């Protein structure tokens, strides 16, 4: 197959609706240009804005950070270490890859460590009866990302959510008819409450996971290839598999699904009165960040687990904990093999 741009040997393909097969040099040139066009299309940020990129150690967030720096934006990184599989090194490997790219880019990387701040690990929440650990993880990450963005004076918080992520989340929200989340799944979420909730953007929203993986490999960006060991059975993964089946049967399904939502998203927006009420949020009495309640979700989790630990209580579920520990060990073995930059 020939490169559509220069006629050389193609080594990477974009998703079917883009009709692109490119050689390595053309692909690593096309990818940033595509992101630049997405930024322009959705008016995500301006050239003078200060960006904070949330980097997990995975290919998507590291790739978008590298691209934004290539495009000339002032972009610093933020990594949230939740001590996932601390005894096996999953989180430490993720942080190491973030530090490696930060050194390569010559950019600052800010690290928030849950264990250092609150003497807690995400595994402590593994067996909560009424709440999946993935939900706790998301609560902590959203809290720390916004808090650090405010502390650092960032204008925009950038995440590495790709089109596969967005479609899987959208499918889950539609199946549950979760109108609150359906009203807030745009590529750009404006700043609120006098800048205490920072503007959030997703420059990879029209790029697939495969496209980002190809870019990371071709650019030699090191990343953790193993899935989070606690994500086993997560509904978003099931949603991705279902969408992959539809995509294989009818190429372009994901793009049509996501673009259709964006075109009709106004249907899910709440009335103006509800928007005004939501804007008048409280401040958490523990951390001072905006919250719909007296204590924000992150601080409620910290309070809950700190109190249980002080009382010497556990959340039970030994069988689930053993299964998760086995998954952690397997993921750590895969991560240990990841010695080359983005090695397939």
**Dist. CA 58–CA 70, nearest whole Å:** 19
**Helix, strand or coil, per DSSP, at residue 78:** strand
The per-residue pLDDT of the chain, averaged, comes to 87
Residue 187 has pLDDT above 50, yes or no: yes
Whether domain 42-280+314-336 has CATH 3.40.50.620: the reply is yes
Residue 313: the pLDDT is 66
Scan for tokens 């959705």, then name that residue. Answer: 42
Residue 319: the pLDDT is 44
Q: What is the pTM of this model?
A: 0.88
Domain boundaries, the chain: 42-280+314-336
Best-predicted range by mean pLDDT (34-43, 123-132, 170-179): 34-43
* pLDDT tens figures, 48-68: 999 999 999 999 999 999 999
Average pLDDT over residues 273-284: 62
Cα separations in angstroms, 269 against 10, 47, 202, 275: 43, 30, 19, 9
């Amino acid at each position: 197959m020939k490169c559509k741009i220069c006629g050389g040997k193609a080594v990477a393909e974009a998703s079917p609706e883009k009709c692109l097969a490119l050689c390595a040099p053309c692909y690593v040139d096309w990818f940033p240009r595509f992101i630049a066009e997405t930024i322009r299309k959705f008016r995500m940020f301006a050239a003078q804005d200060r960006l904070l990129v949330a980097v997990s150690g995975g290919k998507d967030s590291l790739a978008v950070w590298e691209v934004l720096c290539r495009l000339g934006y002032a972009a610093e990184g933020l990594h949230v270490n939740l001590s996932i599989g601390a005894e096996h090194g999953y989180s430490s490997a993720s942080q190491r890859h973030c530090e490696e790219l930060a050194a390569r880019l010559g950019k600052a990387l800010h690290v928030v460590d849950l264990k250092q701040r609150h003497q807690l690990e995400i595994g402590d929440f593994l067996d909560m009866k009424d709440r999946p650990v993935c939900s706790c993880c998301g609560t902590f990450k959203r809290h720390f990302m916004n808090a650090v963005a405010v502390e650092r004076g960032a204008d925009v918080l950038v995440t590495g959510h790709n089109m596969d992520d967005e479609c899987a989340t959208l499918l889950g929200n539609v199946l549950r008819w979760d109108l609150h989340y359906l009203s807030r799944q745009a590529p750009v979420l404006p700043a609120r409450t006098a800048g205490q909730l920072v503007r959030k953007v997703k420059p990879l929203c029209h790029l697939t996971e495969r496209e980002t993986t190809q870019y990371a490999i071709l650019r030699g960006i090191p990343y953790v290839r193993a899935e989070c060991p606690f994500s086993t059975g997560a509904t978003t993964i099931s949603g991705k598999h279902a969408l992959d089946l539809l995509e294989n049967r009818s190429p372009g399904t994901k793009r049509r699904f996501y673009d259709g939502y964006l075109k009709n998203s106004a249907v899910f927006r709440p009335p103006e009165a509800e928007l005004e009420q939501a804007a008048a949020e409280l401040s958490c009495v523990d951390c001072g960040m905006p919250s719909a309640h007296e204590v924000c979700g992150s601080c409620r989790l910290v309070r809950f687990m700190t109190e249980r630990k002080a009382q010497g209580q556990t959340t039970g579920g030994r069988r689930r904990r053993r299964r998760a520990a086995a998954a952690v060990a397997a993921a750590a073995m895969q991560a240990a093999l990841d010695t080359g930059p983005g090695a397939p």
